[in-house]
Structure 1
Amino acid sequence: MCPRHPEPVPLAHPLPVLKQALEKVDQILRQAMSAPGVAAMSAVVIHNDTVLWTGNFGKKNGSDPASGAPNEYTMYRISSISKIFPVLMLYRLWEEGIVASLDDPLERYASTFTINNPLGLVSAEQQGLMDGMASQLSGLPRRLRSTSLLWKGSTQEALNLLKDDVLVVDPGTRCHYSTLAFSLLAHVLAAHTAQGDYQRWVSENVLKPLGMADTGFDLTPVVRARLAAGFYGSGRPMYSTAADLAKLGRGAPWEFHAQRGYRVVRKDGDLDGYAATFSLVPPLRLGLVLLLAGPRPPGPDLVAQAYDELLPALERALREAEPGPAPPPSARPFAGYFTFANLTFYEVRAGPAGELSLRQFGPRVEALVPPAFRTLALRHLHGRVFQLHVAREFPCALPLGDTWLSLEAQHGQLVNFYPLDHHGLSPGFDVPGLNTYRVLRLQRKPVFKT
């Protein structure tokens, strides 16, 4: 049935159906705290840029009986979620013209970049394309040979090591997870900015504009005092809070999951005794941030379990909140009979509250289209522009003899009425999204002969 997804309309909270779902999410996460090694957990659910719910569990320091509970401002290390920031940098520099094209090879910005490709299926010009590096399609190894994931060498040292390294897969042919690709992208591009430094660029161009004051790179004594216990390693991965990550909604190194008919885009990170997930469901404008001090609990995925509760609840709430057809200030200019090339005929009619509907009629329509789907609502947007609405639920396509009528294609299309004539009537309309033009007004209701 269509529409496959409800419109993300504003909701008047609290809503019982969402309250029940959030209570179940709270229960799922609370039970997960019994997993070995999990000291603290913070989570935030966002809808339409509004925080619907926050949950904080465990103790900020699980080894200290006197430690208090975490909150949405407790800091956690976010490991691979930080890969979002080099991608934001790439797109911003492209918008500013510093990066000429997303298809540029990295060697345009780092002349000494080279790596062996023993597979040889793509040309040298296709190796190190920056959009491929940002989407796990570069073919670069996960990390530099003979180094750890937290290696702190310079960009030039990394480029020197790559000269004797090899690609793992041919670029652009399949995904291969590469931390190295994002590190190179970040530090090579940063050298072409006014800041000249990746961390400084991120701070000035992403964190400060979004008000992400509790996100950064350096584990200073002040940061360590706010960090949930779970730190077992070294290096300088980023840290953040659930509240800060709730402000972040763009980026490209996503992992895609299908769940309940929706595409869930998420980025997970697991490193040094911490686990983190930043996830979004774009059609619903729904997001979930989950930060843990400790390893990700075994068993069913916590984020998937949470969405199993949230998705049907929010979908139901949105469908029930969808507005009815909005009437224009006056129905008279648009009401009447119209035809497209004397093949298809329409009646635009006003309802009791002035709302308009568009009814298809005529021998051809009556022979092929079921009565329930001959009339579509016209929701007034502004001026002479309306939007077609089929119904709250309808079949995505209808069989019409040896062809199909796509109701899904009609739903949501814009109807643009022509300027009013000297009688104050619109002489016709177009539906550009359906490639339908010059639907013209008739002087009277047509009569059909059998």
Structure 2
Amino acid sequence: MKNFTCLVLCCFLLHVSGNPMKGRVNNLSPFCQSHPRPIVKTEDILHAMTMQSSFKEAENKIQAALSGDKSPGGVVVGLVYRDAMIWSQGFGLIDMKNPNRGAPSQDTGFRIGSITKVLTSLLTLILRDEGLLSSLNADVTDYLTEFTIKNPFKTNRGVTFRQLMSHMSGLPRATPCEDLFETGCTLSDEEIYKNLADIELLYPPGSQPLYSNLGFGLLGRALEKVHGTGKWEDAVQNLVFDPLGIVNSGNEYTDKDIAKLALGYYKDGSQANFVSMGWDAPAGQTYSTVSDLAKIMMLVFKDDKPVDKSTGQILDGETVREWVEPAYLYPDTTGFSYPWELLTLGNYTAHTKDGRINGYMSEIQMVNELKTGFVLLQSCDNCLSHYDIIGIMESLVLETEKQLLRLQPPPQAPNNIAEYTGAYSTIVDGAKDTLNVTLTTLYGGPILSMQQGGYPAYLEWTGDDSFQISLQGFSRTFSCYILHGGHIGQRVYFQRGEGAIASLTLPGTVYGKVYKKDS
């Protein structure tokens, strides 16, 4: 026990080594990084980033991609911080044959391809929380009895809703429907299920990820049975679009709908055809806008709120956190969530989803620790590649982090904070164990630092004589597993004797021990 408080505190190093954002995509850091808290007011971060011309680099990259004869079509981008769009810009043209329609805006519709899967996954969580779906671990055939598939593996377990949401079902990628992207899927439900009966699983369900459009088509059609009152398209409209105030998105492609969209183009300049995904619609049918997709990101960032549909909070915060938790991680820390794709962006894990369909490409990228998200929609085939978009997002994340650090408010502190400083000791396993509490500064304000053996941890004031162990502001040289092994967030209580601070206790880490203040 004598080294227990060293174990508690030795992970909290004061030394900050290098630029915390110097790592590029998929560069692994052996250290658990300290991030600024996204508590800065939206108008303050917007003003700061505008003054720094933070958006100019992104604008230049996009303009270069669209310059000359490189690519037809248009691009629109948006940057979200917490609950507001802080930057949006359109480039190129909505309609190459009708330049008078101008450049696309944040309210211009684009096909979003596989980002549709985000909506299908969100719908699944809503139906589960409303009690219509018994569990994410329910077998899909409990609701969709028509579905059968060959299972060559020695398991009697079926495919679950959770596995469909996270690409862990073992199903093949493609839906058994010929010429899906040329003429659309025109097969009936009965024909689809007949074709599925002749297909076999490629992996045992739950064993490893395999990206599957088929899986999301199946998920959406199973949700129709769960909901029980119409088609997948209707459920998305009623349970997702309407309560979130999403007004310029849809799944129908009538002439009236198409007239609202930016027209998609292939690399040779020819206009892309509009096809219906048919049975596979839940995997990639939707069109949307930057403004509407921003509302999805804002929902993700509200992971501490209860359900309140009057304000657009259609998921409980706990469910939001479940939505983005990893389902599978590869050794390089990329992986899958529900259905977010995880990649390393600097020192952050970004939740991303991209989509591609007939002359359109789209991408959402979010850094939840900073409550910052980026969406890019383009009506041209690969005007900006996936890696171009990652580079733009990384530069914006770097600047957002920089400005958040600069704008962090000073910590709250009691007026008499200096009276808590001093050395506090107890006996552990027959040896004296000492904690040194000193006064330092963080973001321009006073804060306590508790040290043992030279390793400090901040103590954030929580009221009265109570504080909380925090790593805010530190760069650390230990893994997150060790640092988050039950010590961050633990309370430190100071006790008074004859009006003065006389001792402290850490019941969550050193239960039953009282550290008395040295005289």
Question: So what's the TM-score if we normalise by structure 1?
Answer: 0.83
Matching residue of 2:262:
228
Matching residue of 2:287:
239
Deviations 1:277-313 (Å, cap 9, x if unpaired)?
Answer: 1111122211111111111126672211202321221
Deviations 1:116-168 (Å, cap 9, x if unpaired)?
Answer: 123x2x4131x322211111121212233353433244444432321122223
Tell me, what secondary structure is at the counterpart of 1:248?
Answer: helix
Moved more, 48-57 or 147-156: 147-156
Matching residue of 1:357:
448
The code of the aligned residue for 1:387 comes to Q
Q: Is the 8 A contact 2:112 2:362 kept in 1?
A: yes
Matching residue of 1:392:
473
1:56 aligned onto 2:90: yes
Deviations 1:217-268 (Å, cap 9, x if unpaired)?
Answer: 1123432222101141321521111111011024521222223222222111
Q: Is the 8 A contact 1:340 1:439 kept in 2?
A: yes
Structure 1 or 2, whichever has the larger Rg, is 1
The code of the aligned residue for 1:417 comes to Y
Change (3 A) 1:59 1:256: same
Please give the alpha-carbon distance, in whole angstroms, between the structure 1 residues aligned to 2:440 and 2:198.
75
Matching residue of 2:204:
170
Change (3 A) 1:406 1:67: closer
Q: Is the 8 A contact 1:339 1:346 kept in 2?
A: yes
Matching residue of 1:380:
461
Deviations 1:364-421 (Å, cap 9, x if unpaired)?
Answer: x3xxx3xxx3x543221345542334573444249xxxxxx96777985332427877
Q: Is the 8 A contact 2:151 2:200 kept in 1?
A: yes
Matching residue of 2:40:
10
Tell me, what secondary structure is at the counterpart of 2:435?
Answer: strand
1:136 aligned onto 2:167: yes
The code of the aligned residue for 2:506 comes to D
The code of the aligned residue for 1:240 comes to S
Count of aligned pairs between the two proteins: 424
Deviations 1:13-60 (Å, cap 9, x if unpaired)?
Answer: 311587333111111111111364431111101122221210100111
Q: Is the 8 A contact 1:232 1:272 kept in 2?
A: yes
Please give the alpha-carbon distance, in whole angstroms, between the structure 2 residues aligned to 1:211 and 1:326.
37
Q: Is the 8 A contact 2:424 2:516 kept in 1?
A: yes
Shift of 1:324: 3.3
Change (3 A) 1:411 1:6: farther
Tell me, what secondary structure is at the counterpart of 2:248?
Answer: coil
The code of the aligned residue for 1:428 comes to L
The code of the aligned residue for 1:139 comes to G
Q: Is the 8 A contact 2:38 2:404 kept in 1?
A: yes
The code of the aligned residue for 2:61 comes to I
- Aligned-pair Cα RMSD in Å: 3.2
Moved more, 327-336 or 18-27: 327-336
Q: Is the 8 A contact 2:94 2:102 kept in 1?
A: yes
Matching residue of 2:127:
93
Shift of 1:350: 6.2
Change (3 A) 1:270 1:382: same
Change (3 A) 1:24 1:351: closer
Please give the alpha-carbon distance, in whole angstroms, between the structure 2 residues aligned to 1:180 and 1:105.
16
Q: Is the 8 A contact 2:426 2:515 kept in 1?
A: no
Please give the alpha-carbon distance, in whole angstroms, between the structure 1 residues aligned to 2:136 and 2:65.
42
Please give the alpha-carbon distance, in whole angstroms, between the structure 1 residues aligned to 2:231 and 2:478.
54
Tell me, what secondary structure is at the counterpart of 1:21?
Answer: coil
1:279 aligned onto 2:365: yes
Match of 2:493 among 401, 407, 417: 417
Please give the alpha-carbon distance, in whole angstroms, between the structure 1 residues aligned to 2:198 and 2:82.
48
Change (3 A) 1:427 1:159: farther
Q: Which has the higher contact order (CA 8 A, sep 6+)?
A: 2
Gaps of 5+ in 2: 1-16, 18-31, 265-271, 278-284, 301-322, 324-337
Please give the alpha-carbon distance, in whole angstroms, between the structure 1 residues aligned to 2:340 and 2:499.
56
Change (3 A) 1:22 1:439: farther
